[in-house]
Structure formats: C-alpha cells, structure tokens
C-alpha cells in the first residue's frame, strides 16, 4: 500500500519536471549543435576543396595536389609570403607603437583633455575599413592626394611626398586603422597594473622616460606580446587595404590573391582554397599563441583586478606636446578622412579643393545615392543581418557560456574552443569556405540572404562568447541555486535570473556585433548576389565603377548613420544594461 | 520529519582524484526542531546540506522529508531541487540584484506550478516581509539593502512558500560581529515561533550552541557526535569534538582505578592523579585524554577542600574584560584557566587548582587504524570545500 502510494505521488510529481527536463536538453542540445555546425563545417570544406578539382556539370571533383603545387611551386608565392609578412608585421608594429604611446599618455600622464580623448576614441572604430582606405587614397595618392598637393604648393616642387600605393602606404593606412584597437587593449593593460610599482621607481630617482621604459613596459610584457600577435593576425587577414592599395600596383598578399583567384575567369576555387589554408595556418598559430599568452598573463602578479586610479605623472611643459600628438592623431584618423569624404561628396566630379571648386558645390551625389536602385534594399539587408545575427549570437552564446562556466559537464572546454574557432578565420577565408559548402550542398540558401546570415553568425560567434563569458563569471552560483530552491525550472531560471543578470555583457556584446556586422565586407564580398547586397558592398561596387563622388556621399551618410546608431545603442545600454553595475 | 540515511558523496577533484566529501551520514530531525551540522571547513557539512536541497546528487543513501523520499540510491529516486519545495538561505544570500525586495520575495510564488492570483501573492509576500521587518522596504532595490537586511530578505524568500523544511548555509557568516549576535537571536525567535524544521550549517561553535536543539559535529566527512548543545559541550565523546567546540585543556593519562560511583574513574596524568568522568565504560589500564575546560578550573590562593586539587604557579595572565585567562604551570605543563577578573594573584606566585570531577572528561584515544584511513582525506578535503563553493 505504501509502495503504491509512493509511486503515484512520484508520478504526479515527475510529470511536470520531465517535460521541463526535455525542454532544457532541447535548448542546450540545439545550441551545441548550432555552434558545432557553424564552426566546423566551413573548416572541413575548405580543407576538402583545397585537395580537389572544381566540380562542374561534366566532371566530378577529383583528388589532386595541383592546387598546392600551383600555389607553392612558383617564385611568386615566396614573394606573396614575404609581402604578407612584411605588411602584417609592419602594420602590427606601427599600430602597436602608436596605440601604446596614446594609451600611456592617456593613462599615466597629465596631458590636458585626455578624458575627452578617451571618449572620442570610440569614433575611429565606427569608420568601416573600406571608407577609411578610400579616404586615405583621396588624401595620399601621388596624383590627387590632398596632402601631396598641399605640400607641393608649400615647397613649390613636383616631388611626391607621400604615396599610399606602396607597401609603406599600406602599412600606414592599415596601422592607423588598427591603432584604436591597440590603444584600447593597452589602456586595459595599464589600468590593471599597480601604480605603486611605478611610484616606487620614481622614488628611487628614475625620470619619466626611465619609468616608462624600465618599469611600465617591462611589466606589461605579456600584454604587449599578446597585443602584437592579435594585431599581426588582424593585419594579415585584412582585405580592404591590400585590395584597394596593393592590387593596383601589383603588391599582392594572401587575402588579395584569394580574391583575385576567385574573380579570375574561370574562377580558381581550388587555388584560392590552397592560399586560404596557408593563411588559416598562419592565423591559427597567431591566435593560439595569443590565447596562451593571455591566460599566462593572468598569472602575472601585477594583475590584481583592483581598480587602481594611479596618480598621473607630471609632464611639465611637455604636456602640450602630448596634447598636440592627441590632436594630430585625431586629425589623421577621424577629421581628415571624414572631411575629405565630405568635400568630395559635394562635388559633381571629383576635384581638389580650390576656390573654383567651392563655387560648384552640389548635393547631386546625395540625390544619386538616395535614389540608387539597390540602396533601400541594401540598407534593409544590412540592418536585418546585423540585428538578426547579433541577437542570435548573444542568445546562443549565453547558453554555451552557461554550459562552459556553470556546469561540470565533461568536454565543456571543447565547446568553448569550438565556439572560439571562427576567431582564426580571416573574413575572406570564411566567406570562401561557406561558399564552397553551400555550393556543394544545395539546400537552397546559396545566393540568398541566409548564406550571409550563416557567415555573420560564424564570424562573430567568438565575440559573443567573450562578452558573455566576462559577465557570466561574475554571476555567483548561488543566485541560480536559490532560484532552483524557490521552485523555478531550468528554463525559468535561465530566463528570469541568468539572462537579466547577464544583461550588461549581453547588451555590450550585442551593440558590438551590430556595429562590426554593418561594417562587414570581406566575407560578404564572396557571398552576395544581386538583391542581397549590403551597404559595404554597394560602397565597393561604386569604387569599382569609379563613382568616387557618389561613394563619398554614401560614405558620409554611412558614417553619420553608424555614429547615431552607436550613440543610441550606448544610451540604451546605459539606461537598461548597466543598471545593476 | 527529515531522515538522512547512510549518505555518501564523492567528488573528483581538480586532479581527478576521488574525494569523499560525506560518508555514511545518518541523522533525523524531528518536526519543528533546529538541527545543526557543525564542523571545520571541508568536513562535508555543506555537501550534506546541498544533498538534502537536491543541488548535489549523493552517490548512495536515502533522504526523506515527511515520509516523501526525495533521494534514494537503491530505489533510483532523485527529485530535482525545484520540485522539492524546501526553503534555503545561502551563505552569500543570493539576493537577485535585478529585482527589488518585493520581487525577490515573490519569485518562489510566481514560479510555482500552482498558479496564484496577484492579490494572493501580494498578501503572502507582505506577511513574510512583515515577519522579518522588511515590509516598509518592499519597493527598495535589493542591492541598496544593508547586510543584515539582505540576510532577512533571503530568509523571507526562503519562508514565503511555507516550506516543510528550511535549510540554512552559514547564514550569519557574512555579517559583522555585533549584527551577527542580534541576528542570532532573531533567527532563534523566528524558528521557535514558526516551529520551522530547520537544518543549519555552520563552522561557528557558539552559533551552533546558541541556536540548536541538536548538533551533529562533523569531521572529514563523518558525523562524530550527535547531541544537545549541552551534551556536546560538556560531554564530548571524542578529542576532536572537545577541541573544536570551545577551548579545552588536554592531558594524556591512563585509567588506574574504577570509582564506585557510576561512570567515574581515577586517571593518572603526567602532572598528577584525579577523578574524572568517562563517557564510555572505563577499564583499568586504558589510555585516555582528559579534557578540562578553562572555565571549569577553579583557582584560589588558599588550598581548598575536596577532590582534584592541585598546586601550580601562575605563568602568565591575559586580561580580556569580562574574564581573566590564567596560564598555570604544573611541572612542565601549562593549563589554561578562565576566572573572574577579581582574582589578582601576581605572576610567579603559587596557586591552587580545583576541578569538579564531573567536568573532567576522560576521552578514549581512538584506535590508530581509523585515523590512518582518514589521513589522505584530510589532506585534500579543504580543496573540495572551496571547489564546491
């Protein structure tokens, strides 16, 4: 009798929880499968394609080593490899030195207006690479570059002072473009260091430069090396600068060669894959050592996690020099590029600034852009892709992150690595891999917006994971357990306790992914087809058509639009996201 | 009411070794009583509590509450924590920072499968907030509460669904000393008034003594002694219990004779012979450890009548306000005695000690084999605790 009683009560009790259980595993399983699908499939097909001939209607794919033979037998390849290395190392070093100098000035000195500068440092991140490169062509090309023209006028010569169409020009433009990233990383490194270590050096009689060189920099060594590596990876995978500045003068790097191999007729997908695999190998090594270094960095005794507010060093009269550097930097990275775009957007045909040209200002270019046939569609596509991928990524990674941080399921580290895997994919390589995959497995998404959606989700998955992990680590285990003790099921706990507590990271990550998705070019360029263009693709097309004036108008609107979007997002984020912080 | 039977839990630690966190833990808590699991960190008390809560799944054993089995390894029953309906207060309080006071307390009622009306929820929440004197702060952001208020809110949240069983995981350890003492009284009052069946986990012996109906002292995963607070303090069955609960003097000795009086015997120690109480049946020749609490040693400048009187010299004195600690030297041994501050014997002068035989507890030395078996567990156990949070 007692046994019967017990079983009925248990059945009555377990009817609901069993349903809850299924639901939980459904969500968790779904997220895991999604991540595995997005992260592994492209890699596999890229490798597969690099060993096969292209499949055509008449010929099936055949195993071959020809792609690698073509890629590696020519002396061109050595030059390609050296060019890529020179370009990436140069860019990494230049942006690192610039970013570190700015970070040090901002964090450790009494330079005037530095808090304003820090607030402004987000602006360069908004400008898409393709627009930044185009504006520097207008500033630094040997024939029409404004900087050359101005200097030639001052010194009354024909000498070309500055040529962006060169390796050094490429390093200059890409280095400037990545310097805000170096600045932000190094700022974080400086902030996590105990200023007492520097102060004791000053008490020992060291001057400002000695302290900076012998204490500050030496202590940040792991951070420095990790930053250099990540900048190197970013530079070697950057596409816009090599394509716009390098290709016209025959300076080829891996990314531009992949692009050319595909746009060659007939397109050499196998060869592109072989290049892509090589590039992937380089970035994988870079990312691997970078993550090793970062995890070692946390062992460094300087990283105590306390919020230090160090006493800034008094630079004396030198502080006007550092303020001047800030202003110059801001001119080079934001003001001049934007102004030159603005100027060119108000012309009928591009011409250098002059009194005569000033008379002919017109809004025709804007009119043209606003009535451009694919314009509305591309804006809509960009927004749908950005908002959709940001939302999906943040929700999926919040579950992934929960598994990795909060559970003890064996193999969860694998999941973490899997979701971080797309980090090593250069945008162009990812686009290529996804293209190959959906060409071979026709499930009807090739040539639609969905294929770009898949690319965006894969590409930005690691960012979502990082933002969510930081937030998730701060949620005490007991906050979740107390919900369970209150009778909440896993789903209810996740929805009503975890997600709201995750909100700061969730919102910040969402904003970030929206911005980088809208700027995205290098994956989209291999995947778009008529009707699925995004805004950055329209800019690219205008460039290829030589419509510089119209491009400038679109660029100005794009930058202003992004700026408003970021401000809005920040406002919303402040209002709803960081309430409890 | 609560029955825990032969509960054992194991963990793999970060090196993959198996750590036994709770072993063979068995106890029962009657309806309306407060039962305390007391022990140093890593003794398995939190693991035991979390097993009752359902936050951890033990390896073997059975747990039943009010006749309902919530866990049984043999019958393969495990009811998820959210289906058990127990109230729990966590060490960190685990107040959700994104909800206000009312929302925090209302959460358990809202997520129940049995739906309640808005009004019903409000009534119940306000009643429980009133009980913990937080009703005037119902709209306050939970993060704006003081430590004591957060603690009371955590308690309110645990009580709002009128649970059959209340689980408290070191609820007072995050409060400062003064507040802790006040909350101790408040908790006791609330528990006694509402007749809540409660399991309380703490490493603080004074908290355990002050609050409990019954205490289980745990060490290295085992329950070593279960008894009333007075039992535990005055009649420790074990050297560990005597040492962990309160301060005590230990003297090694051998039983030389059995007294006519039930339970008493004579023990010879390195500093002299005395009459002592033995919890287990004393046998002549057995090695024992004598435990004598400092407050049970009477000091006087003149020799007093009676049994168990020794002479020593004052070696050091510490003034502690409410009382005075004397270190008295007997041959080469130092004994600690706690006396009223009116005793003013200077350091170096002779002094007499008198100990009530009832308070001199002869504890049998444990057999060497068990301690050897437990040794490796002791080495890794603290890590388990931190890993378990």
Give the best residue of A3, A485, A488 to mutate against chain B (max B CB count within 10 A). A485
Angular region, B331: left φ>0, alpha ψ -120 to 50, beta rest: left
What is the pLDDT at residue A367?
87
A229-246 mean pLDDT: 91
ipTM: 0.74
Measure the N-to-C terminal CA separation of chain B; round to a whole number of Å.
28
CATH of domain A24-64+363-581: 1.10.3720.10
Do the beta carbons of residue B171 and residue B154 sit within 8 Å? yes
Task: Judge whether B16 is closer than 8 Å to chain A, CB to CB.
Answer: no
Residues lower than pLDDT 70 in chain B: 14, 16, 113, 366-389
List the single residue in A479, A483, A580 with the smallest CB-CB distance to B143: A580
Give the pLDDT confidence of B287-302 residue by residue, as tens digits. 888 899 999 999 998 8
As separate numbers, helices (DSSP H) first and strands (DSSP E) second, chain A gives 29, 0
Residues of B in contact with A579 (CB under 8 A): 98
What is the pLDDT at residue A86?
93
Full set of structural domains in chain B with CATH: 2-234 (3.40.50.300), 247-364 (2.40.50.100)
Domain ranges of chain A: 24-64+363-581, 75-126+156-329
Cβ A482–B154 below 8 Å, yes or no? yes
Superfamily of domain A75-126+156-329: MetI-like (1.10.3720.10)
What is the pLDDT at residue A43?
84
Residue with tokens 């974080």: A188
Instruction: DSSP for A148-168, please give it.
Output: HHHHHHHHT-------SSSHH
Task: Judge whether B94 is closer than 8 Å to chain A, CB to CB.
Answer: yes
- Kind plus residue range of the DSSP H or E element containing B351: strand B350-355
What is the pLDDT at residue B332?
84
* Of the listed ranges A96-105, A235-244, A537-546, B281-290, the one predicted with least confidence: B281-290
- At residue A206's C-alpha, the angle toward residues A202 and A211, to 5°, is 80
What is the pLDDT at residue A57?
59
What is the pLDDT at residue B366?
61
Residues of A in contact with B47 (CB under 8 A): none
* Of the listed ranges A165-169, A220-224, B367-371, the one predicted with least confidence: B367-371
Task: Judge whether A477 is closer than 8 Å to chain B, CB to CB.
Answer: yes
Cβ B82–A17 below 8 Å, yes or no? yes
Neighbours of B257 (CB within 10 A): 13
Residues of A in contact with B167 (CB under 8 A): 485
Name residue B35's beta-bridge partners. B199, B214
Smallest CA–CA distance from A495 into chain B, residue: B111
Cβ A486–B82 below 8 Å, yes or no? yes
Give the pLDDT confidence of A405-416 residue by residue, as tens digits. 888 777 788 888
Top pLDDT among B30 and A223 is at: B30
Per-residue pLDDT band at A267 (split at 50, 70, 90)? confident
Judge whether residue A156 has pLDDT over 60: yes
- B289 phi, psi to nearest 5 deg: -110, 130
Do the beta carbons of residue A319 and residue A111 sit within 8 Å? yes
What is the pLDDT at residue A1?
34
Judge whether residue A6 has pLDDT over 50: no
Judge whether residue A8 has pLDDT over 60: no
Top pLDDT among A218 and B283 is at: B283
Task: Judge whether A17 is closer than 8 Å to chain B, CB to CB.
Answer: yes
Buried b (16+ CB within 10 A) or exposed e, B87-111: bbbbbbbbbbbbbbbbbbbbbbbbb
Per-residue pLDDT band at A5 (split at 50, 70, 90)? very low
Give the pLDDT confidence of A450-497 residue by residue, as tens digits. 999 999 999 999 999 988 888 888 888 889 899 999 988 888 899 999
Q: Same topology for domains A24-64+363-581 and A75-126+156-329, yes or no?
A: yes
User: Strand, helix or coil at A334?
Assistant: helix
What is the pLDDT at residue A98?
93
Give contacts of A 542-581 with B, CB under 8 A: 579-580
């Amino acid at each position: 009798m007692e046994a019967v009683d017990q079983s009925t009560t248990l059945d009555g009790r377990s009817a609901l929880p069993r349903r809850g259980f299924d639901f939980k595993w459904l969500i968790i399983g779904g997220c895991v499968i999604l991540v595995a699908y997005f992260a592994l499939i492209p890699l596999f097909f890229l490798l597969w394609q690099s060993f096969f001939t292209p499949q055509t209607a008449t010929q099936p794919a055949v195993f071959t080593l020809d792609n690698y033979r073509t890629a590696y037998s020519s002396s061109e390849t050595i030059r390609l490899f050296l060019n890529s290395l020179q370009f990436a190392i140069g860019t990494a070093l230049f942006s690192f030195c610039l970013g570190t100098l700015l970070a040090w000035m901002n964090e450790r000195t009494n330079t005037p207006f530095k808090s304003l500068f820090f607030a402004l440092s987000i602006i360069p991140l908004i400008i898409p690479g393709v627009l930044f490169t185009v504006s520097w062509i207008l500033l630094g090309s040997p024939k029409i570059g404004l900087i050359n023209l101005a200097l030639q006028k001052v010194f009354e010569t024909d000498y070309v002072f500055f040529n962006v169409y060169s390796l050094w020009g490429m390093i200059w433009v890409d280095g400037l473009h990545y310097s805000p990233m170096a600045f932000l990383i190094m700022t974080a490194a400086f902030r996590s260091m105990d200023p007492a270590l520097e102060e004791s050096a000053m008490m020992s009689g060291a001057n400002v430069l000695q302290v900076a060189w012998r204490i500050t920099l030496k202590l940040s060594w792991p951070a420095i090396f990790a930053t250099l590596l990540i900048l190197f990876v970013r530079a070697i995978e950057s596409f816009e600068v090599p394509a716009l500045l390098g290709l016209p003068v025959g300076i080829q790097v891996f990314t531009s060669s992949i692009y050319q191999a595909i746009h060659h007729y007939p397109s050499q997908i196998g060869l592109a894959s072989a290049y892509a695999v090589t590039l992937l190998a380089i970035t994988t090594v870079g990312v691997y050592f970078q993550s090793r270094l970062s995890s070692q960095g946390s062992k460094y005794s300087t990283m105590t996690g306390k919020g230090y507010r160090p006493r800034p060093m008094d630079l004396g009269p030198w502080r006007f020099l550092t303020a001047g550097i800030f202003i110059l930097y801001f001119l080079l990275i934001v003001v001049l590029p934007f102004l030159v775009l603005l100027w060119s957007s108000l012309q009928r045909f591009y011409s250098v600034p002059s009194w005569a040209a000033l008379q002919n200002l017109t809004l025709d270019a804007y009119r043209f852009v606003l009535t451009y046939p694919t314009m509305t569609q591309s804006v809509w596509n960009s927004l749908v892709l950005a908002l959709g991928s940001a939302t999906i990524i943040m929700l999926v990674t919040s579950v992934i992150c929960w598994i990795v941080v909060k559970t003890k399921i064996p193999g969860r580290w694998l999941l973490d690595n899997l979701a971080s895997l797309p980090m090593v994919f250069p945008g162009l390589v990812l686009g290529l891999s996804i293209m190959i995959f959906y060409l071979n497995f026709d499930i009807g998404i090739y040539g639609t917006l969905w294929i770009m959606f898949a690319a965006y989700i894969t590409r930005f998955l690691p960012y979502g994971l990082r933002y969510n992990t930081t937030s998730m680590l701060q949620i005490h285990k007991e906050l979740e357990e107390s919900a369970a003790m209150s009778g909440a099921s896993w789903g209810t706990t996740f929805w009503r306790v975890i997600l709201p507590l995750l909100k700061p990271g969730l919102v910040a990550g969402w904003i970030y992914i929206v911005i980088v998705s809208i700027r995205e070019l290098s994956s989209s360029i291999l995947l778009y087809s008529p009707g699925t263009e995004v805004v950055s693709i329209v800019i690219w097309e205008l460039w290829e058509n030589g419509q510089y004036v119209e491009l400038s108008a679109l660029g100005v609107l794009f930058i202003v639009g992004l700026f408003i979007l970021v401000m809005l997002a920040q406002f919303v984020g402040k209002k709803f996201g960081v309430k409890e912080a | 009411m609560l029955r825990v039977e032969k509960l054992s839990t194991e963990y793999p630690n970060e090196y993959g070794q198996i750590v036994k966190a709770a072993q063979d833990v068995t106890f029962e808590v009657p309806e309306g009583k407060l039962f305390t699991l007391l022990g140093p960190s890593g003794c398995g008390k939190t693991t035991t509590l979390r097993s009752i809560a359902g936050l951890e799944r033990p390896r073997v054993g059975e747990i039943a509450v009010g006749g309902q089995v919530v866990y049984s390894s043999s019958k393969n029953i495990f009811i998820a924590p959210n289906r058990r309906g127990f109230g729990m207060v966590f060490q960190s309080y685990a107040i959700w920072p994104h909800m206000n006071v009312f929302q925090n307390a209302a959460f358990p009622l809202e997520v129940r499968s049995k739906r309640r009306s808005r009004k019903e929820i409000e009534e119940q929440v306000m009643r429980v907030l009133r009980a913990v004197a937080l009703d005037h702060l119902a709209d306050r952001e939970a993060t704006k509460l003081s430590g004591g208020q957060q603690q009371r809110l955590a308690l309110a949240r645990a009580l709002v669904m009128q649970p059959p069983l209340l689980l408290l995981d070191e609820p007072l350890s995050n409060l400062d000393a003064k507040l802790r003492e006040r909350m101790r009284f408040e908790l006791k009052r609330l528990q006694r008034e509402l007749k809540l069946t409660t399991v309380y986990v703490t490493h603080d012996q004074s908290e355990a003594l002050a609050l409990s109906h019954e205490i289980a002292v745990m060490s290295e995963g085992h329950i070593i002694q279960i008894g009333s607070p007075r039992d535990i303090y005055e009649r420790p069955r074990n050297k560990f219990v005597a040492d962990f609960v309160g301060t005590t003097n230990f003297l090694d000795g051998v039983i030389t004779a059995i007294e006519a009086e039930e339970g008493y015997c004579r023990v010879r120690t390195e500093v002299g012979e005395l009459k002592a109480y033995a919890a287990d049946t004393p046998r002549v020749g057995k090695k024992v450890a004598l435990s004598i609490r400092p407050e049970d040693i009477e000091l006087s400048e003149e020799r007093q009548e009676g049994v168990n009187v020794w002479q020593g010299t004052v070696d050091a004195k510490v003034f502690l306000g409410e009382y005075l600690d004397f270190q008295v030297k007997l041959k080469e041994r130092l004994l600690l005695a706690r006396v009223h501050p009116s005793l003013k014997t200077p350091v170096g002068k002779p002094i007499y000690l008198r100990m009530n035989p009832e308070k001199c507890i002869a504890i049998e030395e444990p057999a060497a084999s068990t301690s050897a078996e437990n040794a490796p567990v002791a080495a890794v156990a603290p890590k388990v605790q931190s890993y378990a949070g």
